[in-house]
Amino acid sequence: MSADNVRRTDVLIIGAGLAGLSTALSLPKSLSIMVLSKAALEVCSSHYAQGGIAASLDKNDSVTDHVADTLIAGAGLCDANNTTEILSEGQQAIQWLCEQGVPFTQNTQQDTKQKTLTDLNSTDLNTSDLEISNLHLTKEGGHGCRRVAHADDATGRHVMEALIIKAHAASNITILPYHEALSLLKGNRDNHCQGARVFDHKSHRQLTVYSRAVVLASGGLGQLFQRASAPNVCVGDGVMMAWQAGCRLANLEFIQFHPTGLALDDSSFLISEALRGEGGRLYCPQTGRRFMLDVDERAELAPRDIVARAIAEQINVNGLGYVHLDVSHLPAPFLQEHFPQIYQTLLTLGIDITTDPIPVAPTAHYSCGGVVTSVNGMTDIVGLYAAGEVAYTGLHGANRLASNSLLECVVVGRNIAADLPRYLTEIEVLDAELHTSAYRHNLNVSANDIWKTPILKNTQTITLPYFTSSTSNLYDYHEASKHCHSDADMTEIIIKLKALMTANMGITRSAKELEEALKQIQKWQKWLKKPELSSLNSNDSDSNINRKNSAVSIDELTHLQLERQLQLATLIVQSAYQRIESRGGHYRTDYPNLAVTPQTSVINPLLDTREGSIDWLIQPIIVHSGARAIKATTAT
């Protein structure tokens, strides 16, 4: 690789959403920081978040109550210690966001006026007038009280606009949009994470970025599903890069489906939970029945999994593809003032929410599982931190409590920023000692002393199929080029994969559906392995590869993306297949009951997976006596 294609930085942050930028802005200014974004900066879930950020700010609320609500929603699978640690930092996190210039909605009429971005830009902005004691708080499903700080109904946009202004102004931060990380780099000698291989979408070149530490903040994986609220950058790249490099993954089967995505054509627009929090009601369009009253005493404010399943059942019966969410009984000025984005967006689509019901259906929304991470963001690999939706800290358990995820991005991002300078100093000392000492084995300090890998309790290991590529680098372009198929064929499979995941790995699952999904994914994986050299032999300039210049064709990139998505889909489906119970966001029609002992499902790193035959893919269910749930006598 030529010197042009090599970059160096102190800290490489993969992802420019709330987790990535919170980390970048909280790190010392003395460190050079490079932040990658796979697409344009505004294309991230953080930007689209509407409802807000949960924290116990009200005088009648407490961290204890917030923790209790989170543990209930998490259905026995939250890590109670990590949950308490993260939620205890809620107030400081909101305070920090206020200091960055986030124009949270205030209680009084005067303060309710949102500050314009011009105001935010001005150097004499007085942040003290954004008092956290005076923030307007909303109530969302599963929360026992008003606890969600917000900026109108476009919290994510306001938060991200404020942070992006700050990040652009920071001379130590370089943001690189349209730069996609492909794999993580580890040192040969010490196995520490030392950067990433990156694809520059503008020049179609591969770069190698060397760094002293890496922060994975690449978001979730919702776009593996057909109807999803997250933008198309969210396909689980970070989860796969970390797994490949040696990290454990946890609880991948817990995909949260948001009950109320807008069910209009292919729209991915979300109708915020806050609308139900303010009194929105769900009706069957045909009978006008308010069906949630029959399902749960909390009615529309029951936890998301319960509401989403109830809506899915209605849709199965009514055949319309949607139910109605109605807020027309609320005062029109209130709706227009508190939900300006939803009001305006729907008005342009011909729905006046002050008079008309909104067609809604569940949509894939959030990944509760991810890369096993401590509250300080440490993963299993020395030098690799993770924060945000890519990470699994145990905060969300089997079902995330609404508005806890933005909070986690800020808290864990800031924790990483607090720990990372210590790590850099100590690893430097250790490296120096290793270089100079002739008696390395006698050294008292080792990387394990300066890096505490996360500890998981009560786990169930997911048994995996044999991955034929386990010993090779999956994201080797040369390898990929041997198997390159046409972009159109591969794009078609990506679309079919989404449909398969929604149909067979959706709100409800069964062994039969999951086995079908595994078989189909396996077929696609086999097809992908077949050598189809036609595209590389063509005269198409995109397909002509000049290896010396690190140029890469779009077909090769699509091949790598598809391969990665098929593997991730396998991991998710296997996790769901081997969890033989129903809990939180995971509902098995063939195992509708809770297991006696809640267990976190863990996937060991790729390099540790046992080798065997490809037939492992359709593996008999692993039964753990302690966790065994009662099988349904008849399919439900």
| Catalytic center residues | 304
Structure tokens at 210: 């060397």
26 residue type, one letter: S
- Distance between CA atoms of residues 201 and 550, nearest Å: 13
Phi, psi of 26 (to 5 degrees): -95, -15
2 burial via Cβ count (<10 Å: 0-12, 13-18, 19+): exposed
Is residue 27 a contact point for ligand FAD (CB under 6 A)?
A: no
Q: Contacting ligand FAD (CB under 6 A), which of 138, 218, 256, 399? A: 218
Is residue 233 a contact point for ligand FAD (CB under 6 A)?
A: yes
The answer to whether the CB of 34 falls within 8 A of the CB of 12 is: yes
Is residue 219 a contact point for ligand FAD (CB under 6 A)?
A: yes
* Residue 586 DSSP one-character state: B
Is residue 44 a contact point for ligand FAD (CB under 6 A)?
A: yes
Residue 110 CB, shortest distance to ligand FAD, in Å, is 25
The answer to whether the CB of 592 falls within 8 A of the CB of 632 is: yes
Is residue 389 a contact point for ligand FAD (CB under 6 A)?
A: yes
Is residue 270 a contact point for ligand FAD (CB under 6 A)?
A: yes
595 residue type, one letter: A
Is residue 487 a contact point for ligand FAD (CB under 6 A)?
A: no
Residue 215 CB, shortest distance to ligand FAD, in Å, is 11
Residue 507 CA to chain centroid, in angstroms?
Answer: 18
The answer to whether the CB of 220 falls within 8 A of the CB of 392 is: no
The answer to whether the CB of 27 falls within 8 A of the CB of 219 is: no
Q: How many residues bind ligand FAD (CB under 6 A)?
A: 44
Stretch of 48-56, 297-305, 333-341, 465-473 contacting ligand FAD, by CB under 6 A: 48-56
Binding to ligand FAD in span 121-180, by CB under 6 A:
155-156, 180
Is residue 52 a contact point for ligand FAD (CB under 6 A)?
A: yes
CA distances from 242 to 82, 214, 252, 636 (A): 21, 11, 14, 37
- Distance between CA atoms of residues 494 and 559, nearest Å: 10
Q: Contacting ligand FAD (CB under 6 A), which of 120, 181, 311, 330? A: 181
- Distance between CA atoms of residues 600 and 585, nearest Å: 13
Our CB check for ligand FAD shows the closer of 83 and 599 to be: 83
Is residue 409 a contact point for ligand FAD (CB under 6 A)?
A: yes
The answer to whether the CB of 206 falls within 8 A of the CB of 197 is: yes
Residue 36 CB, shortest distance to ligand FAD, in Å, is 4
- Distance between CA atoms of residues 321 and 309, nearest Å: 13
Is residue 563 a contact point for ligand FAD (CB under 6 A)?
A: no
Our CB check for ligand FAD shows the closer of 39 and 494 to be: 39
The answer to whether the CB of 279 falls within 8 A of the CB of 327 is: yes
Structure tokens at 43: 């294309």
Is residue 87 a contact point for ligand FAD (CB under 6 A)?
A: no
Q: Contacting ligand FAD (CB under 6 A), which of 234, 242, 310, 412? A: 234
Our CB check for ligand FAD shows the closer of 43 and 214 to be: 43
Residue 370 CB, shortest distance to ligand FAD, in Å, is 9
Is residue 462 a contact point for ligand FAD (CB under 6 A)?
A: no
Q: How many CA atoms lie within 13 A of 342 on its CB side?
A: 29
- Distance between CA atoms of residues 315 and 309, nearest Å: 10
Residue 217 CB, shortest distance to ligand FAD, in Å, is 5
Residue 44 CB, shortest distance to ligand FAD, in Å, is 3
Least Cα distance to 570 among 529, 531, 528, 524 occurs for 524
Stretch of 289-297, 382-390, 415-423, 514-522 contacting ligand FAD, by CB under 6 A: 382-390
576 residue type, one letter: A
- Distance between CA atoms of residues 316 and 297, nearest Å: 23
Is residue 377 a contact point for ligand FAD (CB under 6 A)?
A: no
Is residue 371 a contact point for ligand FAD (CB under 6 A)?
A: no
Is residue 224 a contact point for ligand FAD (CB under 6 A)?
A: no
Stretch of 94-102, 226-234, 337-345, 415-423 contacting ligand FAD, by CB under 6 A: 226-234
Is residue 564 a contact point for ligand FAD (CB under 6 A)?
A: no
Q: Which x/- pattern, by CB under 6 A, does the window 271-290 give for ligand FAD?
A: --------------------
Structure tokens at 161: 């606009």
Residue 521 CB, shortest distance to ligand FAD, in Å, is 21
Is residue 20 a contact point for ligand FAD (CB under 6 A)?
A: yes
- Distance between CA atoms of residues 389 and 19, nearest Å: 8
Q: Which residues bind ligand FAD (CB under 6 A)?
A: 14-20, 36-39, 43-46, 48-53, 155-156, 180-181, 217-220, 229-230, 233-234, 237, 270, 366, 388-390, 403-406, 409
